[in-house]
Amino acid sequence: MSAQAQEEQQEGNQEEQKQIEIPDDTPVDLKAEYEASHVQEVLDKLNEDLVGLKPIKTRIAEIASLLLVERVRKKMHLSAETPTLHMCFTGNPGTGKTTVALRMAEILHRLEYIREGHLVAVTRDDLVGQYIGHTAPKTREVIKKAMGGVLFIDEAYYLYRPENERDYGQEAIEILLQIMENNRDDLVVILAGYKDKMDRFFQSNPGMRSRIAHHLDFPDYSADELLAIGKLLLAQQNYRLSSDGEKALTDYIKKRMQQPHFSNARSIRNALDRARLRQANRLFATGKGLSKIDLMTIEAEDILASRVFEGEEDEG
């Protein structure tokens, strides 16, 4: 279609909108709107799946209500622009950034801010090419895949490498900036990474900072929360801890938190995977007289065998 025809059509639409006058006292039923969007289901699921993270959950509920109000305002012709929805998630590894991003995609989809509701998770490797002229098509391809959904860029600060001025990351950032501005209706970009590194990244890319509406900071988990996460993870796979096992896991978490390379929930998941390995080995060695309950129970010895208790560093 020619540009002229397009313009004509747009003008036609605007005229149409002007003709429908909405009286100021039109009743607004936010509650009905809220229920119709089924956002509460996602928020409930978020509450169930994720232990702790109180500030994040409140913030997401706030964003959800803002978007809902915005949607109603749009229906009443009070606002025409799509609000900026790009976000930045900062926090240490294993604090649930990806999980929250997934839920966020679902919330945005239910509120009809994105059309498909899928999440495309990428890192620097997926965006930046290896030689001149390789970056732009690569970045654009990823963006095209993410359209209609959420583009989640993990470790986003790697995109910018100040020490190498010929780094192609800058090119990817420029394309991203352009898309974030021009295709706001088509996709939502979520950047994620460590807090301090992301701050430095934004300092050197002020354009990026100003295009991001919501900055969410993920706190670290406390030892109690990590234990609750551990139990939840086991319950999902139909395992349970014996009472001694629970004590052992509590000790393990305390010790592991002191060590370097501790990555919150991910470390717990890896530790439990290793405990399951040891449990299987133990059951195999015992051989006979086993029952269903034995297959389900993780004992203290499965956890205490970890290298953490010998003062060494555990893997992952």
278 is an interface residue for another protein by CB under 8 A: no
121 is an interface residue for another protein by CB under 8 A: no
Sole binder of another protein in the list 74, 115, 269, 278 (CB under 8 A): 115
Give residue for tokens 């060590």. Answer: 259
126 is an interface residue for another protein by CB under 8 A: no
5 is an interface residue for another protein by CB under 8 A: yes
9 is an interface residue for another protein by CB under 8 A: yes
Sole binder of another protein in the list 66, 69, 121, 147 (CB under 8 A): 147
| Interface of this chain with another protein, residues 127 to 146, rule: CB under 8 A | 137, 140-141, 143-145
Contact 221, 95 (CB under 8 A): yes
Contact 127, 139 (CB under 8 A): yes
Distance CA 154, CA 125 (A): 11
Distance CA 190, CA 110 (A): 18
Question: Which of 107, 2, 6, 95 has its CA nearest to residue 50?
Answer: 95
CB-nearer residue toward another protein: 8 or 29:
8
Q: Which stretch binds another protein (CB under 8 A): 102-110, 113-121, 232-240, 292-300?
A: 113-121
Contact 314, 307 (CB under 8 A): yes
Query: Helix or strand or coil: residue 59?
Result: helix
**What is the nearest approach in angstroms of another protein to the Cβ of residue 132?**
17
14 is an interface residue for another protein by CB under 8 A: no
Q: Is the dihedral of CA 136, 139, 144, 145 positive or negative?
A: positive
The residues that touch another protein, with contacts defined as CB under 8 A, are 1-2, 5-6, 9, 115-116, 118, 137, 140-141, 143-145, 147-149, 183, 185-187
